[in-house]
Amino acid sequence: MAKADLLIVHAAELATMRGPAAPRRGKEQADLGLIPDGAVAVVDGRVAAVGATDAVTAEYKVTKSNLIDAGGKLVTPGLVDAHTHLIFAGSREDEFERRLLGASYMEIANAGGGILSTVDRVRAASRTELVKLARPRARAMLEHGTTTAEVKSGYGLTLEDEIKCLEAVRELAKAERLDLIPTFMGAHEVPREYASRRHEYIDLVVKEMIPEVSKRRLARFCDVFCEVGVFSIDQSRAILEAGKAAGLQPKIHAEEFKSIGSAELAAEIGAVSADHLMLISDRGIRSLRRTATIAVLLPGTTYFLGGTMYAPARKLIEEGVPVALGTDFNPGSCMTLNMQAILSLACAQLKMTPAEALVAATINAAHACGAAEFVGSLEPGKRADLLVWTAPSARYACYQFGVNQVETVVKAGKVVGE
């Protein structure tokens, strides 16, 4: 009999998310790879076996110390947050209140608030301070079931400050247990000192920041805020092409406040993901249909901004575009780090089914982060990142909201908190 370091047995629902090595689209978006009375055996931090409890325990020795009884509970892979701005300083609750009184996100941004006010705070902070601020956030993410997250820079907007933020991501990943995947987003906004010569800032991003970030291997992706008044389609294309040439895969903040054809740009450029998409047009949806681009939907942002325009998740799924989810965690447009809140919104507002939402928050989000080889599903060889929920089923996990339903987090085979 083989020896397992950890055995999770008798899960009422074991949602493995197993399947082909590609993002789930169309009907597959709802395929949880469900095993009733399921078990997972973990050896050396990886999944060694997945199956019915009888079958797995016939192969792996059960001892008192290696056992978690998940009787009556849901077990899933760890959640993957496909879109965060986790590295920031300061907070913007004042803007939140101004919006409640009628100001819009873009009005506040144009009046000198918004992203640029966080940029001031981040520039004034040291790398060590940024890491210190992010550590409790990272821990809270893990406690709420997020075991892998993508993290963007984009509040530095100088070469030194962007590098400082990406180094902070690296340091944070060493200090905390969740996996972090860095994205360079020097094109998050044009800083004030370039307001009258915006093209020079784009030159700086293209000619100095991208080469340096790439040389130092500080990021895997390059992202752009493609939006009216921020970066145009042509500017975004130039930045993403430069990133691509330097080995940074493209991602794009697309169709968030205005519909301008940024989804079409995502398709044209072969973006790994097109994120937000609240205002994507039918043409935009059609352009994504036969591509590898994943739609990363961020319903927390619409909710937090008090909006009514949620991304058309149903249409995207029906047209066969793979959908992933993320928090968009940031101090301005979505102040939550909790992927369970996003699952609830995905169901209640995007009208995704619980199964579709959980697939979007695990295997599809892993694909959107370029991490699906290692995480996102419970299959032999993958990292043993998994959750035991208090909820008995996938349906229940998305049905109850506002409380933490994750009881035990296992990261790389080790129970978090032990």
Residue 394 interacts, among Fe ion, ligand NIG, none and using kind-specific CB cut-offs from 5 to 8 Å, with none
DSSP string, 5-21: SEEEEEEEEEE-----S
Per CB under 5 A, does 150 bind Fe ion? no
| CB nearer to ligand NIG: pick between 2 and 228 | 228
Give which of Fe ion, ligand NIG, none residue 332 binds (C-beta under 5 to 8 Å, depending on kind): ligand NIG
- Identify whether the C-beta of residue 405 lies closer than 8 Å to the C-beta of residue 118: no
Among 225, 303, 329, 389, binds ligand NIG (CB under 6 A): 225
Q: Is the dihedral of CA 320, 326, 328, 334 positive or negative?
A: positive
Cα separation values, 370 from 23, 73, 364, 367, 399, Å: 11, 29, 10, 5, 29
Q: Does residue number 150 form part of the binding site for ligand NIG (CB under 6 A)? A: no
231 binds, among ligand NIG, Fe ion, none (CB under 5 to 8 A by kind): none
In the complex, least distance from residue 115 CB atom to ligand NIG, rounded to whole angstroms? 4
Helices (H), ranges, 89-197: 93-100, 105-110, 115-124, 127-143, 159-175
Q: Contact between 328 and Fe ion (CB under 5 A)? A: yes
Q: Binds 256, which of ligand NIG, Fe ion, none (CB < 5 to 8 A, cut-off by type)?
A: ligand NIG
Instruction: Give the number of other Cβ atoms within 10 Å of residue 244's Cβ.
Output: 16
Cβ 327 vs Cβ 320: under 8 Å: no
**256 in contact with ligand NIG (CB under 6 A):** yes
Specify the DSSP element, H or E, that contains 82.
none
6-15 and 2-3 beta bridge pairing: unpaired
Q: How far apart are CA 274 and CA 293, in angstroms?
A: 7
Diameter of the chain measured on Cα atoms: 71
Shortest distance (Å) from residue 10 CB to ligand NIG: 41
Residue 118 interacting entry, from ligand NIG, Fe ion, none, C-beta within 5 to 8 Å by type: ligand NIG
Identity of the residue, 201 or 304, whose beta carbon is nearer to Fe ion in the bound complex: 304
Q: Which is nearer to ligand NIG, 76 or 333 (CB)?
A: 333
Q: Is 256 in the site for Fe ion (CB under 5 A)?
A: no
The partner residues of 167 in beta bridges, in order of sequence, read none
Single residue of 84, 214, 293, 301 touching ligand NIG by CB under 6 A: 301
Q: Which stretch binds ligand NIG (CB under 6 A): 16-24, 54-62, 68-76, 326-334?
A: 326-334
Note the residues at the interface with ligand NIG (CB under 6 A): 85, 114-115, 118, 225, 253, 256, 301, 328, 330-333
